[in-house]
Amino acid sequence: MSIHQEINNVSRPESTLPTPALSPSNSVGPSPAFSTVLQSPAVSEFELENPFDKLEVSPDGKNDHWQIPECWGHRGASASFPENTKASFVEACKAGADGIETDIHITADNVLVMFHDPELHRTTDGEGLIHKQPWKGVLEHVRTTKAPHQPIPKFTEVLEILLQPENLNVKLNIDCKVENDPIKLFTLIKGVVEEFEGWQTKLAPRLILGIWHPKFITPAVTILPYLPRYAITMSIDQCRKYFFETCHGFSVMYPALASSEGAKFRKECQAKGKWICAWTVNDVEEMKSCGRWGIRSVISDKPELWREIRKEIETDRVKALKPTLQSLIQPFLSAKYYSFHHQRLAREETEYLEREGGTFDIVLPEISLGIAKPSIQ
């Protein structure tokens, strides 16, 4: 999930797959919206609804706010297939993932592609920054270094996967990288989504915007008012200070949620009807902890592992989620669970985000937490 990663040199075997026949971008230049001053959306175009009207109920029918968390495949099924590729997304759906978490960037010719890093070389045979290279003739030929060698998928292709009959309940969590210009990004996302027939009912209810920086909030509300917003963070304090009043949910690094401060935050979110997602959860005991908390979702490289745990929970919730000796001692066995460790990571991440996107301390207008319901023409 982290934007700021140590980049390793990797070998670059030649691709074994032919270049697929892909249509060029329809973009002929920046949208006029990119340079306009943001205005509040014309709410008359939408029917607003409160996303928190319905409370989840537990399996025994009691309204205790507990629910079985959903599992969102982290960059697809990235433990088994190259991350952020069509093969990985399809495999996550086959493994029973409730959603896909993926990352988005803009190419030089305004094509939206699903890729984590701003640069190509960690996971592909390409080099350089994505935003400085065109899709047509360049990025369309790039392949992953991990087999099976895959092309970089376009946003349109991921939406097409979601519209397959077997995937109509799968959500898409779009991690909006801070390197992007938010107005340009959300305008392009809007254009792509609204090109699909029936997008108002077939796509919009299943898309989620993941936001790292406060400067993305006002453009998201203005351009994509029908999509819920999740703040992505490593820091509980950051959630409270910059995002609590403007976002519907929080995608938080698991060790921060597992801390004593994280326990308080989970209660605060439950009291306010806020959704919580934990990342990146690949360990059985961590998955079961998320089940005990009853949070909205877990992001995992191993959706097939969560599928087995979910079966156990559905069969006997009490037995499946009963704390064990392992679950009790695990927080003491690794440095990643200690506050000094995840707080240091959070500081480093914030420094990177502010270096790329500017200070977090910006003035925001009053933001509604209503989610717009698009009108069907």
36-40, 169-173, 266-270, 338-342, range with the lowest pLDDT: 36-40
- The pTM for the full model equals 0.84
- pLDDT of 205 over the 60 cut: yes
Query: For 268-286, what is each residue's pLDDT tens digit?
Result: 999 999 999 999 999 999 9
Query: For 62-100, what is each residue's pLDDT tens digit?
Result: 445 688 999 999 999 999 999 999 999 999 999 999 999
The full set of domains in the chain, from first to last, is: 66-357 (3.20.20.190)
Sign of CA dihedral 116, 209, 298, 165: negative
- Mean pLDDT of the 137-149 span: 98
Residue 375: pLDDT band by 50, 70, 90 thresholds? confident
Which has the higher per-residue pLDDT, 58 or 341?
341
Contact 72, 98 (CB under 8 A): yes
Structure tokens at 358: 């500017």
- Give per-residue burial for 324-359: e unless 16+ CB within 10 Å, then b: eeebeebeeeeeebeeeebbebbeebbebbeebbee
- pLDDT of 28 over the 80 cut: no
- What pLDDT shows up at residue 65? 67
Residue 376: pLDDT band by 50, 70, 90 thresholds? confident
The residues pairing with 233 across neighbouring beta strands, listed in sequence order, are 252
